[in-house]
Amino acid sequence: MKKGIVAALVLLSPLCFADGLQQGWQAIENKEYTKAYQGFHQSAKLGNPSAQFNLGWHYSNGQGVKRNYKEAVNWYQKAADQGYANAQYSLGFMYEMGMGIAKSHEDSVIWYQKSAEQGHRDASYRLSVAHQKGVGIAKNDKKAVEWLLKAATLGHSESQYQLELRHSKGWNLPKDHEKSLNWYRHAAARSEERRVGKECRL
């Protein structure tokens, strides 16, 4: 009898994941944040990393639930441990800022690295900054440029502006007017996309 119950629960778990996530995303679209929180919480308790990350976001931003950075860190950690890139980045940010957890630049860099290696552009940028300033990791201009380039290639506008400036001034990169102008165009186009997108949501 017990084996049958366990088997049924195993079969139902994916359905619960889907139901909770679907409820959460639909509620987000309708700006029903309390309902979204409830849906994500349902799936997060069952171990779904996407739901765990979104639950952490709700706690971090105080949407649908009272803001609680410690709870945000708790759920980001659960998702990050499962390799969820967005959660790894968010956990790194919480460590960097000392929000809900003791500030640790070293731990911040560890999580940014994990996220950046999965192609997370914001994590790539912050990892570049860490290498550039020597915060939480040894200063390394070459690594700083490498991660800056990766973030820019992934569409991170600030990284694109930084590369435009570096090529223009010759900072840790050869002076190159064409490359400088190219990165400027990319950054400007990205900024315009965000502006138009924001207007469409108003």
pLDDT at 191: 57
- Kindly give, in sequence order, each residue whose CB lies less than 8 Å from that of residue 73, ignoring residues fewer than 6 positions away: 56, 91, 94, 99, 100, 101
pLDDT at 164: 80
- pLDDT tens string 118-153: 999 999 999 999 999 999 999 999 999 999 999 998
pLDDT at 159: 87
DSSP E strand stretches across the chain:
none
pLDDT at 183: 63
> Where is 115: in which H helix or E strand?
helix 105-116
**Considering only CA atoms, which of 165, 157, 170, 130 is closest in space to residue 146?**
130
pLDDT over 90 percentage in the chain: 63
- pLDDT tens string 152-200: 989 898 888 878 877 667 666 667 677 766 667 767 776 545 443 333 3
DSSP code, position 118: T
Quick one: average pLDDT of 112-120? 98
Residue 2: pLDDT band by 50, 70, 90 thresholds?
very low
* Rg of the chain in Å (alpha carbons): 20
Which amino acid, 129? V
Phi-psi region of 32 (alpha: psi -120 to 50; beta: other; left: phi over 0): beta
Quick one: average pLDDT of 47-76? 97
